[in-house]
C-alpha cells in the first residue's frame, strides 16, 4: 500500500456512515479490529460491548484523534461530548473547548499533536479540520455559487415525497450537473483529496456518472437532512442535528460509554494486514477494513481475505468498502452475506460505498 496519501490529519468527521458496521457487529464479541480513521467509525463498535478493541491506522494523527474521542467519552456527558467535537445543535465556545481538552487523559504524543491542531484552528470544531472535510467545504462554496438558494432549498422539505417533488420541479439540475462534473474530475479529486494516490477506478461508468448515481441515491431514497455528506457538500457544515452521525446518537453514545469501561482499547500504527498477521492475533471476531483494500497492491488485493482467514474465529466477519474501486478477493472458505444487509446499505447516509460483508464458514465436522 502506498503511503503518499496518508499524511497529516485526513479525516476528522469521516466519509463513512458507521451504522453499517454497528448493525452488523454482534454484542459481546471477544476481539474486534478496525481502521481507526477519525475515531467516529470506531466508537459505535464500542457500543456493542466487545472485550477488546484494536484500532489500527497507518497515520499516528488518526490514532491520536481516535484516542481523544475515547477519552472524551469517558469524561463527558452526551451533550458536552457532542458540543466538544462540534456537532449541532449546541455551540461550544473556544475557551470551554480548550478547558475540556486540558482535562482529557491523553498520551503525551496525542495531547501535544492535537493541542497544536486546536490552537492553529483557534479551538474551533475539530470535525471540520481534516483534509477530506476541508475539501468538501471548498467544494460547497463552489456548489453554493453555482446552484444558489434553489440548491439549498432541497433541505427545506418535510418528507421524502415533497423532496422528490422538489427535485423534479424546482431543483437546478443543469447547474447541479456542472458541480458534479467538477466533483467527477479526476485531476481535481486527485489534487484536492488524494494527493496523487487516487485508486484506479474499476467500476462501470464515468466519474461524473458515478457521482450522479451516488447523489441520486441520496436525493431519491432518503431524507437529505439525515446525510452529513450531503450537508457538507451544500453548506460546508452540518446545519442541523438530523445529519449527525451515529457516534452522537444518544443511545449509541450511552452504550459506548458503558462499553468502554469493560473494553481494552489499543492503538497500533501500521499496515492493517501486517498488524492482523501478528502472532498474538489468533481469534478476531470482526474486522472493519474500510476501503483499505482499494489501495493494496495487486497480489494482496486478490488474497487479503485468505491472509486474514487464519486469524478469524469460526464465523468471524469482515466488512470491506470500496468507492470507485471495488476489490474482488478470493473468498474460498467464506460466505458472502452482503445481500442480507441491502436495506441497511440503502440508508447509508453517504452512498459513497459499495459494501461487502464476508463471514467465515464453520468447519464441516
pLDDT at residue 8 in the model: 76
How far, in whole angstroms, is CA 117 from its chain's centroid? 20
Rounded CA separation 291/165 (Å):
35
Give yes or no for a contact between 54 and 262, defined as CB atoms under 8 angstroms apart.
no
pLDDT at residue 2 in the model: 42
Same domain flag for 88 and 42: yes
Contacts of 208 (CB under 8 A, 6+ apart): 177, 180, 181, 184
CA angle centred on 143, ends 234 and 228, rounded to 5°: 20
Same domain flag for 104 and 250: yes
Has residue 8 been placed in a domain?
A: no
Rounded CA separation 90/73 (Å):
17
Where residue 79 sits, what CATH number does that domain have? 3.40.50.150
Query: What are the φ and ψ backbone dihedral angles of 286, each rounded to 5 degrees?
Result: -155, 130
Same domain flag for 26 and 97: yes
Has residue 138 been placed in a domain?
A: no
Same domain flag for 233 and 256: no
CA angle centred on 189, ends 187 and 191, rounded to 5°: 65
Rounded CA separation 53/49 (Å):
10
pLDDT by residue, tens only, the chain of 365 residues: 444 444 579 899 999 999 999 999 999 999 999 999 999 999 999 999 999 999 999 999 999 999 999 999 999 999 999 999 999 999 999 999 999 999 999 999 999 999 999 999 999 999 999 988 998 999 999 999 999 999 999 999 999 999 999 999 999 999 999 999 887 776 666 655 555 566 788 999 988 899 999 999 999 999 999 999 999 999 999 999 999 999 999 999 999 999 999 999 999 999 999 999 886 777 999 999 999 999 998 899 999 999 999 999 999 999 999 988 999 999 999 999 999 999 999 999 999 999 999 999 876 65
Number of domains into which the chain is organized: 2
344: containing domain = 19-127+246-360
Amino acid at each position: 500500500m502506498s503511503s503518499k496519501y496518508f499524511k497529516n490529519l485526513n479525516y476528522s468527521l469521516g466519509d463513512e456512515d458507521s451504522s453499517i458496521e454497528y448493525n452488523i457487529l454482534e454484542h459481546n464479541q471477544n476481539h474486534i479490529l478496525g481502521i481507526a480513521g477519525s475515531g467516529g467509525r470506531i466508537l459505535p463498535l464500542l457500543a456493542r460491548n466487545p472485550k477488546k478493541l484494536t484500532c489500527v491506522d497507518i497515520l499516528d494523527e488518526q490514532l491520536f484523534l481516535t484516542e481523544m474521542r475515547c477519552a472524551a467519552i469517558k469524561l463527558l456527558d452526551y451533550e458536552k461530548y457532542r458540543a466538544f467535537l462540534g456537532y449541532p445543535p449546541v455551540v461550544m465556545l473556544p475557551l470551554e473547548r480548550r478547558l475540556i481538552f486540558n482535562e482529557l487523559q491523553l498520551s503525551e504524543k496525542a495531547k501535544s499533536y492535537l493541542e497544536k491542531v486546536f490552537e492553529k484552528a483557534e479551538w474551533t470544531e475539530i470535525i471540520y479540520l481534516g483534509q477530506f472535510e476541508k475539501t468538501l467545504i471548498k467544494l460547497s462554496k463552489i456548489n453554493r455559487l453555482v446552484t444558489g438558494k434553489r440548491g439549498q432549498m432541497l433541505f427545506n422539505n418535510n418528507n421524502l415525497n415533497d423532496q422528490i417533488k422538489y427535485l423534479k420541479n424546482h431543483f437546478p439540475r443543469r447547474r447541479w450537473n456542472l458541480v458534479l462534473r467538477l466533483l467527477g474530475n479526476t485531476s481535481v479529486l486527485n489534487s484536492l483529496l488524494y494527493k496523487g494516490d487516487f485508486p484506479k477506478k474499476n467500476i462501470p461508468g464515468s466519474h461524473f456518472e458515478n457521482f450522479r448515481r451516488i447523489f441520486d441515491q441520496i436525493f431519491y431514497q432518503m431524507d437529505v437532512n439525515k446525510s452529513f455528506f450531503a450537508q457538507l457538500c451544500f453548506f460546508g457544515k452540518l446545519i442541523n442535528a438530523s445529519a449527525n452521525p451515529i457516534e452522537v446518537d444518544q443511545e449509541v453514545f450511552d452504550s459506548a460509554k458503558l462499553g468502554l469501561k469493560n473494553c481494552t482499547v489499543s492503538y497500533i500504527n501500521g499496515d492493517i494486514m501486517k498488524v492482523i498477521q501478528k502472532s498474538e492475533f489468533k481469534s478476531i471476531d470482526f474486522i472493519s477494513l474500510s476501503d483499505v483494500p482499494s489501495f493494496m497492491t495487486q497480489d494482496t488485493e486478490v488474497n487479503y481475505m485468505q491472509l486474514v482467514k487464519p486469524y478469524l474465529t469460526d464465523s468471524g466477519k469482515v466488512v470491506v468498502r470500496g468507492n470507485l474501486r471495488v476489490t474482488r478477493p478470493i473468498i474460498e472458505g467464506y460466505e458472502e452475506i452482503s445481500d442480507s444487509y441491502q436495506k441497511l446499505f440503502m440508508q447509508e447516509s453517504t452512498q459513497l460505498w459499495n459494501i461487502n460483508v464476508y463471514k467465515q464458514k464453520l468447519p464441516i465436522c
